[in-house]
Amino acid sequence: MNVKIEESWKRVLQPEFEKGYFATLTEAVRREYSVASCYPPGRFIFNAFNLCPFDKVKVVIIGQDPYHEPGQAHGLSFSVQDGVPFPPSLQNIFKEIHDDLGKPIPTTGNLTRWAEQGVLLLNASLTVRAHQANSHSQLGWQTFTDAAIRALASQRQHVVYMLWGSYARGKAYMINRQQNLVLESVHPSPLSANRGGWFGQHQFSRCNEYLISQGVEPIDW
C-alpha cells in the first residue's frame, strides 16, 4: 500500500503497510470520515511523522488519542492549532516548563516548533470521532503506532521517552532503558497532576541534560 508519509518513516514502516490489519484500518478510517465528523483533518493524520523524520527523533511524547472538539487536533499529541485556547493538560505542561526552565508561557499551543526539533508527538490512535474520546481506539491504530515505537527502540539509541500517565507508561516494556532515557510521571491532566507527581519532576531539564550528555542538541521547549 502506498501511504503518504515522510520518506524515512515510510521506509521503516513499510512492512506494516503490507499487513492485513493496516488495510482493514485504512478502510475503517475512510468509512468513519465519510459518515461522521472526525479529527484531525485527513492531511494531518500522519503529521507527527511528517514533521519529525525517523533519524531526527530525539524525544518521544506519547498521547492517547487526538483532541475531539472542532479546530483543535492537527496530528501532534497535546498540541492545538494556532488561536485555540490551551486544553488543561497543555496548560499544565507549559506551567511545568515555566517552573523547570524559567521559560515564559507561550502565546500558542501549536507544538510544531517541538516536532521540527526532533520531538515525536505521537498519539496511540491517530484519529477520533468528534466529541467521542477514544472512539477509534479499536480500529487498529495502536498496532501501527506500537510498531513505530518498536522501530525506534530497536534501531535508534539515546532517545528520551516521556511517558505520562498509566496508558503511556504501559509502552515502557518496548524500550531499552540501558540505551535510552525513560522519564515517567502521572498524566498532566488536572485530575492527575493536582494529586501530585507531575509538577516539580523537572522532566524537561532532565531531558535536555541527557541529550547534551550524548552530544545531541537540546530541545528549546
Find the catalytic residue in 65, 100, 146, 220.
65
* Residue 100 annotated among the catalytic residues of the structure: no
Strands 38-39 and 128-129: antiparallel
Cell triple for 25: 484500518
Query: What element of type H or E holds 191?
Result: helix 190-193
Contact 189, 166 (CB under 8 A): no
Buried b (16+ CB within 10 A) or exposed e, 163-186: bbbeebbebeeebeeeebbbbbbb
Strands 128-129 and 119-123: unpaired
Which residues, in sequence order, are bridge partners of residue 161?
A: 60, 182
Cell triple for 35: 459518515
Residues catalogued as catalytic? 65
